[in-house]
Structure 1
Amino acid sequence: MSLEICLSFVVTFIISLILVPIVSKVSKKLGIIAHTNKRTIHKGIIARTGGYAIYASFLIGTMIFLKTDIQINSILIGGFIVFLTGFYDDIHDLSPKFKMLGQIIAALVVIVYGGISLKGFIIPFLPSSFSHVIAIIITIGWIVGISNAVNLIDGLDGLCGGISIIVLVTISLTSLTYGRTDISSLSLLLAGAIGGFLVYNFHPASVFLGDCGALFIGYMIAVISLLGFGYKSSSFFTLGAPIVVLMVPIMDTLIAIIRRKVHHKSFSEADKNHLHHKLMFSLELGQTKSVLILYVVTILFSLCSYIYLYDKIAATILFLTLMLLFEVFVEATNMIDRKYKPVLTIMNIFIKSEYLPSIKDTKPYRRIVERAKKKYAVIALIVIAIIFSLVFAFNKQNSTPTHKPVQTVEYKEADNETELMSDIYNQLKTAIERNNKPDIRQDVAAYFLADYFTLSNKKENQIGGIHYFYSDKKDDFTAYAKNGYYKNANTFIKNQTDLPEVIHYDIISNQDSYKALSGLEDYSYYDVRIKITFADVNPILNVEEYTTTVTLIEKNQRFSVVAMEE
């Protein structure tokens, strides 16, 4: 993790730490305080606009650390809409329909203006246009659903803020594994802002998030997850990983929907049957212990997502175990209904406890039990063995490369090579002749950077270094470049002024990498850290020297670039 990314967390944390008490004091004077209802458990006068400090801290952090593009701008505009919707609700109690409308508008902004939506969603045997429409509908549902799920868990001091930080840090770490420093930085900027607020919000809280904070945080987590954790947008890493990480608020929301449906109540009607309420009241654990337990549960689900990168079987086993324990808790605490206890009923067939529910003592049941009483354990073991065998076989099959073989990269000389690029290319040819792999990969990385950051030899719409990028990801790389470094490149090229040119480089390190692209885990990866020097101050980067890490993939003794750290 780069120093700048860590610094972004620290800066927004400190800004939030300073702003929260100021916002809290102003809110109390204006009468913007938390009102009691059936769901609240607080006492006293507490400001409910702590989310304002989080939002302001995050905005300041983005101005300092983030380079804006269309996607970032769309996220910020949508976030502003969600924040205003929640802020108005904190003051005037907006109706659920209007709150939903604000969230839908924000979702449409990031979809239409930012081009952010569920990627790679295809329904077999149907036109791609139909799949695209369904993907947009799912995207809107995802953003609105996660925004409200995060808002619903804001029921105990420090609960929503703490869980959100765990989720954002997990997203940040996973993004770094795939070389996505932009997503990592965005996640930690928000995590730092929430962290400063959490200092005042942990029990006993002196300020609350309010809808402006909870809805904004939920919206940001939903949108960040849609950006994808890596260059490859697969079904798992687009929504699967965020679903696992956000399992606590998602399950709490789904259970609330089912519970209120079963009891014929409106979804917007507050109650005290959420996860945190059950821990606090049914198990009599109190606020602090209840919150800490849910922190631990969130961390375990986050581990499932992260471990999946390296060991799919272990992650699957951990996830299924956690879900089973989760279901047992739901049934034991009557979160849905007193009669809903399927797992506990099945367990009692073997345990035979008077404290657990049992199947009605009917004649068919007695006959089955009498004939197969001793066989249940054997059958259960066989079923479990079959399930784990299928999981193992499935993961083994997935671990076998089903993708196209990596096309052999062609080490081409760029048009109008600079003197430095020509020198690097000659070194690369010598390294290939000697089959010196460390030198090959550092020369490939150096040539890629020299070509990518040099504009003095470029024509309009030409992206440097593209011949050295991994073949199946060239489209993603081109889009990334056009939204970043090459966004205003044509202006410089047309004017032929202040054209950046790399004139020198230094290899800082050349080592194995822990990163891996989803679906390409069997390949070898390497990180080459390089410092490049420009002829003059680069007008795009505003620096004369620039240090970055290039990640390369190796297959069939050839190297391709797959990621570059900003």
Structure 2
Amino acid sequence: MLIFTGALLLALAATPLARQLAPRLGLIAQPRARDIHTRPIPKMGGVAIVLAFLVGLVILAFLPPAERDRLFFFQQLAGIVLGASLVSFLGIWDDRWGLSPLVKLAGQTLAAGLLVATGVSITMLPTPALNIAATLLWVVGITNALNLLDNMDGLSGGVAAIASAFFLLMALSSGQWLVATMSAALLGACLGFLAYNFNPASIFMGDTGSLFLGFVLAATSIKLRFDNVTFVTWMIPVLVLGLPIFDTALVVISRLRRGLNPLTTPGKDHVSHRLVALGMTQREAVLTLYLTCGTLGLLALFVTQASVVQSYVIGGVVALIALWAFWKLEFQRPLILPQPGPMAGQQGKVDRS
């Protein structure tokens, strides 16, 4: 509770300061034809999220030594913090000056490699090489999924907060203190930031925040352990993070199907945009996606205690619903296509619209 409260209060205090400092540093999101916002918005909120999370972890230094010793594998914590710091540095550089997708991908892979080097790795596959490959793919994939999800006020931060809350509940119920501590710090940081980012937002998190959130959530999900057999436990983080996974799959497949570059082509073709195209307001679309994320989290909680058969029934039903939603959104509903022109091939910026 102390770690959550510290991160929450710092995010509440630091976000307005970041909003004031952003114009001096050139960290402003100017409105463009493809964007939802219609006025310049500071995009330095991610710095406040990162600082709040890190200071939340610093609170651990003031705990009694015996308490600290039982909480952590400090080597693994160092790997997570260093990797998250690297992706947030890539994010702030991209927000200010721009980076090519290949440079960002290389940096994210290096950050994921830091996790593997410090023992934060998937272990369910039969060989070390497969486990390392799966870890790199999962971490880079989820990092970018949260980045792509940051396309509407309050969406990425809110989804990250919900996912962190479920990871926190799971960790506390099973005595996994490393995961619990990181989840509490991330939850507090996200909620403090959301006070200023929910529609109508007065500040954006930028790539600094969205890449950081994705990386920490990916690392946290790897560290979670359950008593269920291996053939079931992989489903738990996939369910909790199912919304950003679905959104990324929808956008990538949709753009590839239309012959467009999925990473550099701007367009209002995310799940949130499609819900707005169906008649929802931005707030209604975001709240609907919060509800979806919460429902998936509750199903994941059930799977932690379910049998193998029950777990795969749930997984199968969720997969069928996801396929149905993909079909309806992609093939049977109006789609706002990405705008052609010079921006469609621009390097270095992933569309926020």
TM-score w.r.t. the length of structure 2 is: 0.86
**Which digits, 9 at most, give the CA deviation of each residue in 1:511-536, with x for residues without a partner?**
xxxxxxxxxxxxxxxxxxxxxxxxxx
8 Å contact 2:48–2:193 — kept in the other structure?
yes
Q: Select which of 299, 306, 313 maps to 2:301.
A: 306
Aligned pair in 2 of structure 1 residues 336, 72: CA closer, same or farther (>3 Å)?
A: farther
Corresponding residue number in structure 2 for 1:220: 216
Q: Select which of 113, 121, 128 maps to 2:125.
A: 121
Bigger shift: residues 63-72 or 327-336: 327-336
| Alignment partners' CA distance in 2, 1:231 and 1:180 | 12
| Alignment partners' CA distance in 2, 1:54 and 1:161 | 10
- Shift, 1:110, TM fit: 1.3
**Which digits, 9 at most, give the CA deviation of each residue in 1:155-201, with x for residues without a partner?**
11111111111111111111122111221121111110111000000
Corresponding residue number in structure 2 for 1:280: 276
Q: Select which of 148, 152, 176 maps to 1:152.
A: 148
8 Å contact 2:158–2:194 — kept in the other structure?
yes
**Which digits, 9 at most, give the CA deviation of each residue in 1:393-412, with x for residues without a partner?**
xxxxxxxxxxxxxxxxxxxx
3-state SS in 1 of match to 2:330: coil
8 Å contact 1:52–1:213 — kept in the other structure?
yes
2:92 is the alignment partner of 1:87: yes
Larger Rg: 1
3-state SS in 1 of match to 2:28: coil
- Shift, 1:336, TM fit: 9.2
Aligned pair in 2 of structure 1 residues 229, 335: CA closer, same or farther (>3 Å)?
A: farther
Corresponding residue number in structure 2 for 1:73: 78
**Which digits, 9 at most, give the CA deviation of each residue in 1:528-547, with x for residues without a partner?**
xxxxxxxxxxxxxxxxxxxx
Bigger shift: residues 10-19 or 312-321: 312-321
8 Å contact 1:157–1:201 — kept in the other structure?
yes
2:36 is the alignment partner of 1:41: yes
| Alignment partners' CA distance in 1, 2:222 and 2:290 | 23
- Shift, 1:116, TM fit: 1.2
Aligned partner of 1:87: which letter? I
TM-score w.r.t. the length of structure 1 is: 0.54
**1:64-463 map, 5 Å:** 64-65=59-60, 67=68, 69-112=74-117, 114-122=118-126, 131-230=127-226, 234-237=230-233, 239-268=234-263, 269-281=265-277, 283-312=278-307, 316-334=312-330
Aligned pair in 2 of structure 1 residues 331, 37: CA closer, same or farther (>3 Å)?
A: farther
Aligned pair in 2 of structure 1 residues 232, 322: CA closer, same or farther (>3 Å)?
A: closer
2:46 is the alignment partner of 1:51: yes
8 Å contact 1:241–1:305 — kept in the other structure?
yes
8 Å contact 1:256–1:336 — kept in the other structure?
no
**Which digits, 9 at most, give the CA deviation of each residue in 1:451-510, with x for residues without a partner?**
xxxxxxxxxxxxxxxxxxxxxxxxxxxxxxxxxxxxxxxxxxxxxxxxxxxxxxxxxxxx
8 Å contact 1:83–1:215 — kept in the other structure?
yes
8 Å contact 1:304–1:316 — kept in the other structure?
no
2:25 is the alignment partner of 1:30: yes
3-state SS in 1 of match to 2:269: coil
| Alignment partners' CA distance in 1, 2:58 and 2:9 | 15
**Which digits, 9 at most, give the CA deviation of each residue in 1:5-30, with x for residues without a partner?**
x2211111011000000011100232
Aligned pair in 2 of structure 1 residues 232, 301: CA closer, same or farther (>3 Å)?
A: closer
**Which digits, 9 at most, give the CA deviation of each residue in 1:417-459, with x for residues without a partner?**
xxxxxxxxxxxxxxxxxxxxxxxxxxxxxxxxxxxxxxxxxxx
| Alignment partners' CA distance in 2, 1:232 and 1:81 | 33
| Alignment partners' CA distance in 2, 1:138 and 1:146 | 12
8 Å contact 1:179–1:230 — kept in the other structure?
no
Aligned partner of 1:98: which letter? V
3-state SS in 2 of match to 1:97: helix
Corresponding residue number in structure 1 for 2:2: 7
| Alignment partners' CA distance in 1, 2:53 and 2:155 | 20
| Alignment partners' CA distance in 2, 1:316 and 1:326 | 15
| Alignment partners' CA distance in 1, 2:34 and 2:223 | 34
Aligned partner of 1:97: which letter? L
- Shift, 1:47, TM fit: 0.7
Identical-residue share of aligned pairs (%) = 31
Aligned partner of 2:114: which letter? V
8 Å contact 2:150–2:156 — kept in the other structure?
yes
| Alignment partners' CA distance in 2, 1:218 and 1:258 | 20
8 Å contact 1:9–1:189 — kept in the other structure?
yes
Aligned pair in 2 of structure 1 residues 95, 243: CA closer, same or farther (>3 Å)?
A: same
2:65 is the alignment partner of 1:60: no
Aligned pair in 2 of structure 1 residues 133, 38: CA closer, same or farther (>3 Å)?
A: farther
| Unmatched segments (≥5 aa) in structure 2 | 62-67, 335-353
Aligned pair in 2 of structure 1 residues 170, 38: CA closer, same or farther (>3 Å)?
A: farther
3-state SS in 1 of match to 2:29: coil
Q: Return the structure number with greater helix share.
A: 2
Aligned partner of 1:76: which letter? V
8 Å contact 2:57–2:181 — kept in the other structure?
no
| Alignment partners' CA distance in 1, 2:175 and 2:300 | 17
**Which digits, 9 at most, give the CA deviation of each residue in 1:131-169, with x for residues without a partner?**
211211111111100000011111111111111111111
Between 1 and 2, higher relative CO (CA 8 Å, sep ≥ 6) is seen in 2
| Unmatched segments (≥5 aa) in structure 1 | 1-5, 123-130, 339-566
3-state SS in 1 of match to 2:181: helix
- Shift, 1:55, TM fit: 0.4
- Shift, 1:229, TM fit: 3.2
**1:472-491 map, 5 Å:** none
In the comparison of the two structures, how many residue pairs are matched?
Answer: 322
Aligned partner of 2:97: which letter? H
Q: Return the structure number with greater strand share.
A: 1
| Alignment partners' CA distance in 2, 1:39 and 1:75 | 35
3-state SS in 2 of match to 1:256: helix
